[in-house]
A and B are shown apart, each in its own frame.
Chain A
Amino acid sequence: MSTVAELLHDLVFDYTLRTIALGAAVLGVSSGVLGTFAVLRRQSLLGDALAHAALPGICLAYMATGSKAPVVLMVGAGVAGWLGALLLLKIVATTSLDEDAALGIVLASFFGFGIVLLTVMQKRPDAGQAGLDKFLFGQAAALVGTQVAVTALLGTAAIAVVIVFYKELKVLCFDPTFARTTGLAPRWLEVLVTSLVVVAVVIGLQTVGVVLMASMLVGPVVAARQWSDRLAVVLVLAGAIGAGAGVTGAVVSVAAERVPTGPAIILSLTVFALVSILFAPRRGVVPDAVRRRRRGLVAPVEVEAEAAR
């Protein structure tokens, strides 16, 4: 264990820690903001399905190019995730299946295919595939500066889209039927919202991996929603909480050796979410129980007084 001062020093001056922390912060901000729309549309598990759907894309990108360059694998993940998203929208639109069934189908079939590809590659003699399985749980230690820069660029672009279409996205998420009647919610906007989740997934895969990505999209908004009733504030808070959890997780994983970064980030996020669910002043479980208890202590007396009359 290093001291707090050393950690803070390393956070700024140590290349590895700085890169991991920056990468985690970028991931936290983008998944916090982009995940907010998915959760408010009651599509919390969309990110889970699309993250799993990205796995075969990573494998195929490597098999096709023989390169493990982060950008190559990210393109593969993005294309596969996006195809998964389109398939999902198509299933919901053309069959009588519910969205959760469609999510399950996309998640299981794409992920299963990805696992098959991983296994096939493992049996090949060159062993060049070693490391692709790191995308299951993430390997933040392997983050490099260029990769962080690329994810930052992607994240900035996606958030810019959110800012430009804020009004349209808000009405689409709150009341999609009404939104369609205004003419401001065409099909492509729905595809765009889903695509934003794909972008968040691509940003997060290297750091937290396929399996844990869903919590990066859901956790920040769950926490943020507890503290505000305004969408704009929830978005900013979700980004901030995501970034906070990212940096905390990165620092913890470096300070306590042998703790993997991805899970450390998710655990910090869980702490943020738990504290918010329990203690947020108006929506928290504990303040609510206290209010109920106060009322509960008053009410029976009133009832008795009523009965005595």
Chain B
Amino acid sequence: MTDEERTDTAPPLEIADLTVAYRERPVLWDIDLTVPKGVLAAVVGPNGAGKSTLIKAVLDLIPRAAGTIRVFGQPYADVRRRVGYVPQRTSVDWDFPTDALDVVLMGTYGKLGWIRRPGRAEIATALACLDQVGMADFARRQISQLSGGQQQRVFLARALAQDADLYLMDEPFVGVDATTERSIVELLHALKAQGRTVLCVHHDLDSAPDYFDHLVLLNVRLIADGPFAAAFTQANLMKAYGGRTHAFKHGA
């Protein structure tokens, strides 16, 4: 990735009029959203708000009923190598016959393209990425032998190996230990320092303001988005969560 490409002017993610429906039921309704460059954005909302669906729609993993999505000003298919993805940890079978290093190497596949196999350069990259999440000692460990938090860090290392400019993460903090939590937070700050952008589905309202600086508050419709200080208001949270909110530690 050249510096030119990193400093281009189009925002990392621009969504207009996005509607996604499963059968008759709308999951996302008329979303207009721009994610500015270099933010750590949390996608927050109640269960069934369409948080994961938003990410999957951006990645063209599910069909959309209406709307356009631009990633760095282009359709996703044209810039997929600039987008990194961390799926939910529970979405794969961790008994698959492979080790941590091999999973992280999959992060290099996109740039390698068809047929070409990862070589020394890719292995060095993957090992560095494992090291960055504190997993260097587990490179050759069968993935089922890792704890949940370690598995999550392997997924993050794989995303790092993608060397992307926009990262989409689906609930990376779910069910992880304190070490992993620290490691993810450090990683988010490192990505931000490098000018990369993160959009992260996050379930926990209380910790969101500590980890992220940008809020996308969602409940099928977009309720609010913007810098945390401005968007994280009691009124917005009430709108998103309805009567189900009573005690917010951080609500203004």
Q: Which residues from chain A sit less than 8 Å from chain B, CB to CB? A: 40, 42, 96, 164-168, 170-171, 173-175, 177-178, 180-184, 225, 228-231, 233-234
Known: A177-B87, A178-B85, A182-B110. 12 other contacts (CB 8 A): A40-B97, A167-B109, A168-B109, A173-B96, A174-B96, A174-B106, A175-B91, A177-B91, A181-B61, A182-B106, A184-B109, A231-B96
Instruction: Say whether B97 contacts A181, CB under 8 Å.
Output: no
B residues near A233, Cβ cutoff 8 Å: 97
The 3 A-B residue pairs whose C-beta atoms are closest, nearest first, are A182-B110, A229-B142, A181-B85
B residues near A231, Cβ cutoff 8 Å: 96-98, 102
B residues near A181, Cβ cutoff 8 Å: 59, 61, 80, 83, 85, 110
Instruction: Say whether A230 contacts B106, CB under 8 Å.
Output: no
Bound together, the chains give a CA A184 to CA B112 distance in angstroms of 10
Q: List 27 A-B contacts (CB under 8 A).
A: A40-B96, A40-B97, A167-B112, A167-B116, A168-B114, A170-B106, A171-B106, A171-B109, A173-B96, A174-B92, A174-B93, A174-B96, A174-B98, A175-B106, A177-B61, A177-B87, A180-B61, A181-B80, A181-B83, A182-B110, A183-B110, A184-B109, A184-B110, A184-B114, A229-B97, A231-B96, A231-B97
A residues near B113, Cβ cutoff 8 Å: 184
Bound together, the chains give a CA A165 to CA B117 distance in angstroms of 10
Quick one: closest A residue to B96, CB to CB? Answer: A174
Given A167-B115, A181-B59, A181-B83, also A229-B110 (CB < 8 A): no
What is the interface size of chain B, counting residues whose CB is below 8 A from a CB of the partner? 31
Any chain A CB within 8 A of the CB of B103?
yes
B residues near A175, Cβ cutoff 8 Å: 87, 91-92, 106
Any chain A CB within 8 A of the CB of B99?
yes
Quick one: closest A residue to B77, CB to CB? Answer: A183
A residues near B102, Cβ cutoff 8 Å: 231
Bound together, the chains give a CA A41 to CA B4 distance in angstroms of 41
Bound together, the chains give a CA A180 to CA B58 distance in angstroms of 12
A residues near B92, Cβ cutoff 8 Å: 174-175
Interface centre among A165, A166, A178, A225 (most CB of B within 10 A): A178
Q: Which residues from chain B sit less than 8 Å from chain A, CB to CB? A: 23, 59-61, 77, 80-81, 83, 85, 87, 91-93, 96-99, 102-103, 106, 109-110, 112-118, 142, 158
Task: Give chain A nearest CB distance to B80 CB in angstroms.
Answer: 5
Task: Give chain B nearest CB distance to A95 CB in angstroms.
Answer: 11
Task: Give chain A nearest CB distance to B94 CB in angstroms.
Answer: 10
Bound together, the chains give a CA A234 to CA B96 distance in angstroms of 11
Given A42-B93, A171-B109, A175-B91, also A230-B99 (CB < 8 A): yes
Given A181-B80, A181-B85, A228-B97, also A174-B110 (CB < 8 A): no
Task: Give chain A nearest CB distance to B155 CB in angstroms.
Answer: 9
Given A165-B115, A167-B117, also A234-B80 (CB < 8 A): no
B residues near A228, Cβ cutoff 8 Å: 97
Bound together, the chains give a CA A181 to CA B87 distance in angstroms of 10
A residues near B85, Cβ cutoff 8 Å: 177-178, 181
A residues near B61, Cβ cutoff 8 Å: 177, 180-181
Bound together, the chains give a CA A42 to CA B94 distance in angstroms of 12
Quick one: closest A residue to B106, CB to CB? Answer: A171
B residues near A182, Cβ cutoff 8 Å: 80, 106, 109-110
Interface centre among B23, B93, B99 (most CB of A within 10 A): B93
